[in-house]
């Protein structure tokens, strides 16, 4: 195994190992601080980060506002307070030695206000800001205003090229690195473009090389590329290391650092990681952001899959093949289905899926009365955590704060689910983000007999090539 040498990133020398940012409340001040202290780059999540009371207990985020607009304001305030708390802890744990980055999701509600609020309140504690999901053109302004390096997360050379031409080229000195997040391998949200097939993964090397070629054209041959997604043992990536064709490369780990002593996720989540089998992680389209994302196929995801399978198209009057009348809701408002679909609907009803919910695409899905109640409650409780949400139809982009469409019951409230899994640890009934290499926890001898390393132990292990 080649020696892992430091590289220059964000103006300093660091070991080219990065802990990826993980929301909600997963990569914290504790994990990122320890990672940075070991010599790499730690990234705490600025996505609805936890803050603590005077006894050090997590303050659970509850909302008093009557409208979702009011609750959105509470969420922004929680986000800023939490981000500052995590930055402080990261700084203390890291002892000023290593590099601390903050991750924000451009598609989170109030992203720019939260990013600026945290950077303002934690001046001097944060070295860089990483940002993915969507096209964060304004990241360059934020980086310049606060004198921190920016690390855009992209999944193709094309996406980087668009960001560079429109905005980042004007703040070149603040570009610390470019994260290539593999859309078929990485945990969390994935940046698949419309031209890419979720079922046809492409090997990362050629895509990263294309990114490097693009960067060289822009004069960015020395700016590190951070490879994220599916990285487990570095010995499997030896041909990437010190490879002049690729230029400076760092590796980002998202899934592996979930299982450390410092990792704040509940014990049940840690234990579940050790039981993931090949093929258990699913790239799926249910996120309310509209992006694909990778998560463990547990009861939660299975229910969403099945919910979407119990779907039929309807017409508002009898037309073409839509000749079978069907009554929707308590008032039995008539719609017309294809007769064969009406037979399927009767079958679902006989299994207890008696409630028909309308989607924005003139279809109905069928769920149990309990699930229907839960869906409606979650939509009503919305606190505007995203810039736009297909599940609740919330949007920060319009004067009336809606996206103008029907709320989509095929999706779910990601805020509720990620808060629950991070704090209550119900790993079957919540979204459990994981990368596609997560099954390796169960195969890697490092974790045999249930061994859970400290961050430092994990870091040192990774440096050995394993």
Ligand X SMILES: Cc1cc2nc3c(=O)[nH]c(=O)nc-3n(C[C@H](O)[C@H](O)[C@H](O)COP(=O)(O)O)c2cc1C
Q: Measure the CA–CA gap between 410 and 372, rounded to whole angstroms.
A: 11
- Name the residue with tokens 């570095």: 234
208 vs 357, beta carbon nearer ligand SF4 = 357
Residue with nearest beta carbon to ligand X: 254
Instruction: Tell which residue, 21, 189, 255, has the closest CA to residue 118.
Output: 21
Q: Measure the CA–CA gap between 211 and 455, rounded to whole angstroms.
A: 31
Decide if residue 446 touches ligand X (CB under 6 A). no
Q: Which does 99 bind (CB under 5 to 8 A by kind): ligand X, ligand SF4, none?
A: none
Q: Which does 414 bind (CB under 5 to 8 A by kind): ligand X, ligand SF4, none?
A: ligand SF4
Tokens representing 36 are 């940075």
Give me the least distance between CB of 24 and ligand X, in Å please: 7
Q: Which does 386 bind (CB under 5 to 8 A by kind): ligand SF4, ligand X, none?
A: ligand SF4
- Number of residues binding to ligand X, judged by CB under 6 A: 28
Query: What is the number of other CB atoms lying within 10 angstroms of the CB of residue 56?
Result: 6
Give me the least distance between CB of 163 and ligand X, in Å please: 15
Query: What is the number of other CB atoms lying within 10 angstroms of the CB of residue 331?
Result: 7
Considering only 188, 247, 248, 453, the residue that binds ligand X (CB under 6 A) is 188
Q: Measure the CA–CA gap between 442 and 449, rounded to whole angstroms.
A: 10
83 vs 384, beta carbon nearer ligand SF4 = 384
C-alpha radius of gyration, the chain, whole number: 23
Q: Which does 282 bind (CB under 5 to 8 A by kind): ligand X, ligand SF4, none?
A: none
Q: Measure the CA–CA gap between 252 and 232, rounded to whole angstroms.
A: 10
240 vs 394, beta carbon nearer ligand SF4 = 394
Tokens representing 116 are 């600026």
Give me the least distance between CB of 254 and ligand SF4, in Å please: 21
Q: Which does 105 bind (CB under 5 to 8 A by kind): ligand SF4, ligand X, none?
A: ligand X
Footprint of ligand X on 167-186 (CB under 6 A): 181, 185-186
Give me the least distance between CB of 126 and ligand X, in Å please: 15
Q: Which does 384 bind (CB under 5 to 8 A by kind): ligand X, ligand SF4, none?
A: ligand SF4
Q: Which does 292 bind (CB under 5 to 8 A by kind): ligand SF4, ligand X, none?
A: none
Decide if residue 142 touches ligand X (CB under 6 A). no
Decide if residue 105 touches ligand X (CB under 6 A). yes
Decide if residue 47 touches ligand X (CB under 6 A). yes
Q: Measure the CA–CA gap between 227 and 249, rounded to whole angstroms.
A: 7
Mask: binding to ligand X, 212-251, rule CB under 6 A, as x and -?
A: ----------------xxxx--------------------
Decide if residue 301 touches ligand X (CB under 6 A). no
Q: Which does 385 bind (CB under 5 to 8 A by kind): ligand X, ligand SF4, none?
A: ligand SF4
26 vs 122, beta carbon nearer ligand X = 26
Residues ≥6 apart with Cβ < 8 Å to 440:
232
Footprint of ligand X on 378-437 (CB under 6 A): 433-435, 437
Q: Which does 29 bind (CB under 5 to 8 A by kind): ligand X, ligand SF4, none?
A: none
Residue ranges binding ligand SF4 (CB under 6 A): 288, 382-386, 389, 391-392, 394, 413-415
Give me the least distance between CB of 151 and ligand SF4, in Å please: 25
Question: Would you tell me which residues interact with ligand X (CB under 6 A)?
Answer: 20-23, 26, 45, 47, 103, 105, 132, 153, 181, 185-188, 228-231, 252-255, 433-435, 437
């Amino acid at each position: 195994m080649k020696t892992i040498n430091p590289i220059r990133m964000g103006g300093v020398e660091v070991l080219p190992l990065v802990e990826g940012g993980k929301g909600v409340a997963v990569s914290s001040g504790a994990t990122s601080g320890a990672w940075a202290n070991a010599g790499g780059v730690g990234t705490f999540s600025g996505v609805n980060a936890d803050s603590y009371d005077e006894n050090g207990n997590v303050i659970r985020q509850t909302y008093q506002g009557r409208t979702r607009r009011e609750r959105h304001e509470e969420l922004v305030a929680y986000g800023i307070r939490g981000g500052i708390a995590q930055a402080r802890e990261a700084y203390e744990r890291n002892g000023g030695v290593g590099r601390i980055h903050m991750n924000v999701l451009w598609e989170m509600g109030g992203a720019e206000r939260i990013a600026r609020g945290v950077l303002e309140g934690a001046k001097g504690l944060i070295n860089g800001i990483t940002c993915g999901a969507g096209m964060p053109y304004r990241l360059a302004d934020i980086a310049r205003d606060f004198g921190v390096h920016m690390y855009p997360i992209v999944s193709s050379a094309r996406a980087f090229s668009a960001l560079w031409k429109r905005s980042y080229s004007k703040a070149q000195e603040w570009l610390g690195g470019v994260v290539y997040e593999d859309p078929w391998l990485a945990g969390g949200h994935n940046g698949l473009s419309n031209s890419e097939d979720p079922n046809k993964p492409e090997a990362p090397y050629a895509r990263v090389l294309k990114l490097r070629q693009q960067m060289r054209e822009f004069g960015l041959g020395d700016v590190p590329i951070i490879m994220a997604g599916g990285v487990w043992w570095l010995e499997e990536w030896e041909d990437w290391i010190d490879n002049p064709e690729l230029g400076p490369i760092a590796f980002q780990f998202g899934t592996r650092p979930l299982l450390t002593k410092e990792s704040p996720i509940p014990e049940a989540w840690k234990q579940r990681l050790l039981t993931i089998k090949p093929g258990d992680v699913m790239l799926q389209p249910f996120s309310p952001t509209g992006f694909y994302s990778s998560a463990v196929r547990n009861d939660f995801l299975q229910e969403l899959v099945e919910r979407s399978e119990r779907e039929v198209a309807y017409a508002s009057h009898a037309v073409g093949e839509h000749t079978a009348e069907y009554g929707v809701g308590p008032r039995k408002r008539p719609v017309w289905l294809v007769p064969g679909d009406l037979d399927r609907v009767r079958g679902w009803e006989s299994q207890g899926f008696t409630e028909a919910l309308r989607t924005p695409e003139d279809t109905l899905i069928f769920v149990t009365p309990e699930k229907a109640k839960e869906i409606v409650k979650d939509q009503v409780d919305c606190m505007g955590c995203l810039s736009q949400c297909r599940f609740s139809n919330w949007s920060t982009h319009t004067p009336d704060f809606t996206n103008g469409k029907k709320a989509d019951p095929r999706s779910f409230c990601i805020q509720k689910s990620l808060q629950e899994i991070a704090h209550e640890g119900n790993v079957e009934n919540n979204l459990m983000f994981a990368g596609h290499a997560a099954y390796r926890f169960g195969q890697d001898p490092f974790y045999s007999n249930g061994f859970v390393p400290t961050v430092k132990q994990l870091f040192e292990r990774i440096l050995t090539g394993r």
